[in-house]
Structure formats: C-alpha cells, structure tokens
C-alpha cells in the first residue's frame, strides 16, 4: 500500500549547513521510524517557508545511502501570516505494509506545534 508520511522541522538560522543537517535528521528519522527502504519511496516533496533560501533542503537526501534514485522536489510554502517561521516540511510517499493509523509522522524542533495530534505515541 502507498502511504503518505509527513514530517517537519525548523531551523534557528537561514544557513545552508543547518538547513541540510536538520533536513537530513528529519528524513533519517522518518525512514527509520517507519522502517522504509529507499527503493520503496515513490517521491519526496520538501517545502520551506519564505525565510529559508540559503540552500535547497532536498540536497540533504544526497547524504543518505540508497537515495540516489529517489525523486525529490523543493517548493516554497504559501506565505500565511503568523505561520511557523523557518520551517521545512516533508511529504514522503512510500510503499509500506503499515495501516494508515500506524504510520509515524515526525515533527522535530518547533514543528512539534504543527500537528500535535499526529505525534508519535509513547
């Protein structure tokens, strides 16, 4: 079954090294917690708020073993007033045997405020 796996994180500064580091940390946790293999990933969409422009966060996938052929795209979030600043969001579509309610959606740093209803249990 194909499932969407959500993830989000924030950075303190609009700096390439921090953006790549936090994006990589988020992706590693999304893959590990959902027991996903790179060859089971159909695509990854990465969006950023308009205050992140130091690099493409999708570049972080290049640091992950087996991700050479995973299609990835970056886009900018719509600029909603009052939204969480310096936020990186990920939508990963992957093949998994997990039921929809058992998918682990990962929110790190200040992004934990986005969807507390989806935070991992336990």
Residues in the chain: 122
Q: How far apart are CA 16 and CA 31, in angstroms?
A: 22
Q: How far apart are CA 88 and CA 45, in angstroms?
A: 10
Two tokens at 102? 């058992």
Residue 89 assigned ligand-binding role: yes
Residue 98 assigned ligand-binding role: no
Binding region: 6, 89
Binding region for prephenate: 6, 89
């Amino acid at each position: 079954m194909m499932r969407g796996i959500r993830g989000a994180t924030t950075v303190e500064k609009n700096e390439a090294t921090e953006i790549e580091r936090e994006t990589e940390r988020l992706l590693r946790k999304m893959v590990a917690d959902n027991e996903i293999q790179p060859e089971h990933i159909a695509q990854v969409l990465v969006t950023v708020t308009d205050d992140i422009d130091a690099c493409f966060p999708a570049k972080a996938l290049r640091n992950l073993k087996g991700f050479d052929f995973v299609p990835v795209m970056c886009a900018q979030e719509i600029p909603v007033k009052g939204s969480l600043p310096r936020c990186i969001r990920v939508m990963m579509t992957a093949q998994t045997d997990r039921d929809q309610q058992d998918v682990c959606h990962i929110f790190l740093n200040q992004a934990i405020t986005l969807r507390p209803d989806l935070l991992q249990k336990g």
